[in-house]
Amino acid sequence: MVKVVKTGIIISLIGFLAFSCSKKKECASIQPIQPIASFQIVDANGLNLIGDGLTYDFEDIQLFNDALDIPLGINFSQNGDEAAIWFDYFQLISGEAYNLKLNDTETDILRFQFYIEEGNCFDLKLIENVNLNNIQLDLSGTNSNRLFVIVK
């Protein structure tokens, strides 16, 4: 009887280790999803306000946190009349205030709430909501590439 129990435990342990090793190999070939968020700044009619000769020039826009004292890297993309700013939010902390400097005279406060979604290989940091000056913004896009629109 003891021999049967020991054999069962050993077989279970071997099966568990084999499954774990194959899962590690499977996960080794998968790159984690980069947490990207993007935003647009538009007027009340939905017209883009970011770009050369428009209300907000891309070179003036900064996203930073006073505690970090370093600007967070942002990127700019334009497709016809639409423009968006996108950034990796991995280093952002849930609930903290981030300054969105639009130009020398206008700075807004962004707050993000994040949640963690457990995955088979990697956990994902996802945006639950975004507040601009204490007003919640609508989010669209996929969980790993969230888009929010700021109306000025």
For residue 116, count CB atoms less than 10 angstroms from its CB and return exposed for 0-12, middle for 13-18, buried for 19 or more.
Answer: exposed
pLDDT tier at 18, thresholds 50, 70, 90? very low
**CA angle (146 as vertex; 141, 147 as ends), nearest 5:** 80
Any idea what DSSP says for residue 102? E
pLDDT of residue 17: 40
Any idea what DSSP says for residue 57? -
Phi and psi based region of residue 9 (left: phi greater than 0; alpha: psi -120 to 50; beta: remaining):
alpha
Q: Whole-angstrom Cα distance, residue 32 to residue 93?
A: 19
The CATH number that domain 36-151 falls under is 2.60.40
pLDDT of residue 2: 41
pLDDT of 144 over the 70 cut:
no
pLDDT of 120 over the 80 cut:
yes
Question: What does the mean pLDDT of the chain come to?
Answer: 81
Over residues 41-93, the pLDDT tens digits come to: 999 999 999 998 899 999 899 888 877 656 678 888 888 888 999 888 888 88
Q: Which residue has the higher pLDDT, 140 or 19?
A: 140
Q: How many angstroms separate the Cα of 131 from the Cα of each of 36, 38, 65, 126?
A: 17, 14, 15, 15
pLDDT of residue 145: 67
pTM: 0.74
| Three-state secondary-structure class, residue 8 | helix
Residue 78 tokens read as 């334009």
Residue 35 tokens read as 């947490």
**Secondary structure element (H or E) that encloses residue 9, with its range:** helix 2-28
Over residues 108-119, the pLDDT tens digits come to: 999 999 999 998
